Amino acid sequence: MATTQFASVSSRKRMSMARARWLVLGLFVVLVALAVVACAGAGTASSSSGPSAGAAASAIASPGAGGLATSPSPSPTPVPLPLAAAAPTDPFSFLSWLFTPIFQALFILLTWLYVLTGNVLIAIVLLTLIIRLATVKLSARQLASQQRMQRLQPELKSMQKELQRRYKGDRQAVYQAQQEFYKERGVSPTAGCLPSLLQMGMLIPMYSVIRIGLTNFDPNAMLTVFGQKVVPLTCPNPAHYVNGVLDKALPCINTVIAGIDMGKEQVLFSLPLGINGWALGVSLLALAAAALQMVQSRMMMPPNAENDPSASTQRSMMIFMPLISILYGGILPAGLFIYWIVTSVFSIVQQFLIVGWGALFPLFGRTPGFAQNYTPRFPVTMPEPANAGKSLAATRYKPEERWASAASTVRPNTHRRSSRRGRRR
């Protein structure tokens, strides 16, 4: 990942930035873990998320991705240097170096949109829409898979007792029978989590593009491909020269929109936590992002079935995960929350077209008239069963058939003996 290096950093600045990076890393790991738990509750596999998520998270924790390089002799004033690619000198910077092409592609596209529109907020919105449109088929496949999994859960739940009776504690056999059931119905349990993990994985390069790229005074190195500058942007900004001296603290791109700096945190107020001087920064953009994610999660929430721990866990995770974004309010830049908000709005519209209102209603015990008996524009259909008649779902007895089968195995008593009581001798 691209990095901004400084000649020297004061010890206090170094400690605060290190603590901030570790906090961001910890919260991101918690977010990925919750996503994996939620997907696992729905019966999905998440083994493919480990290396990519770990590498991306390491990019934040590394000095290369964080944009800081310490000097043996601390100085009270840091001196910024032009944006440059990380040198693969250690494992962390090597991971940052591997992610440099992704960073550069996103940064070039964002800068080109900024030059085209002249507004960094509009550029971030357009970049987000381009990313979502490029992955629209993948996310639509995810929504369809989640809906099909939810529709199969009641039937799968009704099979649990027979699975336990037939295999008597053999978990591997029970799991294999469930997989055969999904395969017969044409549903893949692993198709639901990968798009979600990819969307969360995009937060890492977008964080670097907004936090590091937009705030640099000279990003020419990241705007050059094979020795050719691909974006007509003049950097450093000529307006930032004062008496012939460049003010390197000002970014080349104007990141301030309506008084909000898109490259920095937007905090309304801070709530002291009383732990080593830590405070929770409350951001209006973070609250808006959390509210939209709550709507998005509730639309796809599974039914609250009784005695179903997997559905209860998934519902709890879908409610809890949007609240994590509030904790990021005082840490992440405002531009990243713009990306988050636009992504959530796009997902809500896509879900509405595919699944309708989903489980959004009833809300506070009421269902409005427009949400009753609503049919989505592109409804999800169940695929035709494969290998019909061979799986456990097809061969198992229904309750009434089980009773009839049991009754047919009982031999009737046709040889009745009369009572001896009262018989003459």
For 47-69, b/e burial (b = at least 16 CB within 10 A) is eebeeebebbbbbbbbbbbbbbb
- List pLDDT tens digits, range 107-129: 999 999 999 999 999 999 999 99
- List pLDDT tens digits, range 265-312: 988 888 887 777 777 888 999 999 999 999 998 888 876 655 556 666
At position 107, the amino acid (one-letter code) is: F
Query: pLDDT: is 136 or 191 the higher one?
Result: 136
pTM: 0.73
Q: What is the pLDDT confidence band of residue 410, given thresholds at 50, 70 and 90?
A: low
Percent of the chain with pLDDT over 70: 68
Q: Reply yes or no on whether the pLDDT at 326 is more than 90.
A: no
- Closest among 216, 43, 247 to 145, alpha carbons compared: 43
Contacts of 197 (CB under 8 A, 6+ apart): 32, 35, 46, 48, 49, 52, 53
Contacts of 259 (CB under 8 A, 6+ apart): none
Q: What is the pLDDT confidence band of residue 173, given thresholds at 50, 70 and 90?
A: confident
- List pLDDT tens digits, range 16-64: 444 444 454 555 555 444 444 334 333 332 233 333 333 333 333 333 3
Task: Provide the token pair at 261.
Answer: 């700096």
